Amino acid sequence: MNKKNISTLLHEIGYFDPIENFHLLKGGANNRVYKVDFANKIHPIVLKSYFIDDKDKRDRLSSEFSFLTYAWERNIRCIPQPIKKNSNNIGIYSHIDASPFKKKHLSVNYITLALDFYIDLNKNKDKAKNILNASESCFSIDDYIFSVNTRLEKLSKIKPSNPLNQKALNFIEKDLKTLWYNLLNKLKRFKKDYVLPKEDILISPSDFGFHNALLDAKNNIFFIDFEYAGWDDPAKTISDFFIQPKIKVPNKYLSSSIDKISTTLQHPTHFKIRVEMVFPICQIKWILLLLNSFLDVTCKRRIFSKTHENKEKQLEKAYHLFKKIKI
């Protein structure tokens, strides 16, 4: 991508100010994300070009833009401001002058701020008319099971074309599937305990965690990347928040976080039961997500966004998470 290409994209969306400089931002795993500076010194913007693929139909741009528009209208400011979008999968957002959140920054205060952000999103959820369901949203125990089974089926088709692929395939077939089938047997016995009242379905940032956060010079936290956002079971959101491995939130804060979210729900007891039920399902799902780098469609997304993942490291992380699962 050169300056002329960027200018053309900006012209398509109604930006005609001359560009002074631009550069690709790190961390956009699925999309190309650029910071654009203008010659007239107006505030820089972020241009996000969203990945599309025949095998991955989700409208990432609409999901993220609608979510940010809703949140911005609710006066939530720990996010980028949505500015413009077009039909060619280009979104324009305000640039936040901040750096990626790192593991060393993790504290009770930031965990509280993250949960407050989630709670604030849902204070006026009846106004969220344009919010779609989250990516892989789950509203029943069968939805959770379907999500894992679908991912397992895809990863079972990894081509054993090299020793590493064969190692990943052996792990899936011998270890992961055995654990999953044992968990399924347990879930069948307690399936009736999963109750999600409609009024307790919440708007979820999805892929929510400190791996998608920034800190500015004053240590203010901002959250980014909402292309999977939408309506979802809060038990899934809180489980993912604690399981995601990039910047791991210690499990010692899980109980207090569950209590904090439960106070905002009409049926807190159901919520706590659901978390206990779905947490190990979400752990297995995250193992499968870590192994996504072995799939062709993921490789295409990484090539598009100019990022890559070390498959061997991803497999090591998957083993590590596997050992922590208790059913």
In angstroms, the CA 176 to CA 153 distance is: 12
Let me know if 231 is exposed, middle or buried by CB neighbors in 10 A (0-12, 13-18, 19+): middle
Q: In terms of DSSP bridges, do strands 32-38 and 90-94 run parallel, antiparallel, or are they unpaired?
A: unpaired
Q: pTM for the whole thing?
A: 0.92
Give the pLDDT of residue 12: 87
Report helix, strand or coil for 21.
strand
In angstroms, the CA 314 to CA 202 distance is: 31
Cβ neighbour number for residue 250 with a 10 Å cutoff: 9
Give the pLDDT of residue 193: 94
Give the pLDDT of residue 58: 84
Q: Which of 319, 322, 300, 304 is nearest to 164 (CA)?
A: 319
In angstroms, the CA 25 to CA 263 distance is: 38
Give the pLDDT of residue 302: 47
Let me know if 173 is exposed, middle or buried by CB neighbors in 10 A (0-12, 13-18, 19+): middle
177-190 and 268-290 helices, crossing angle to 10°: 160
Q: Specify the DSSP class assigned to residue 209.
A: S
pLDDT 10s digit of each residue in the chain, 327 long? 788 889 998 988 888 889 999 999 976 667 899 999 999 878 999 999 998 877 777 899 999 999 999 999 999 999 999 999 999 899 999 999 999 999 999 999 999 999 999 999 999 999 998 999 999 999 999 999 999 999 999 999 999 999 999 999 999 999 999 999 999 999 999 999 999 999 999 999 999 999 999 999 999 999 999 999 999 999 999 999 999 999 999 999 999 999 999 999 999 999 999 999 999 999 999 999 999 999 875 555 545 444 456 899 999 999 999 999 998
Phi, psi (rounded to 5 degrees) for 273: -65, -40
Let me know if 82 is exposed, middle or buried by CB neighbors in 10 A (0-12, 13-18, 19+): buried
Where do the domains of the chain lie, and which CATH numbers do they carry?
3-140+192-322 (3.90.1200)
Q: Which of 238, 190, 223, 275 is nearest to 68 (CA)?
A: 223
Give the pLDDT of residue 27: 64
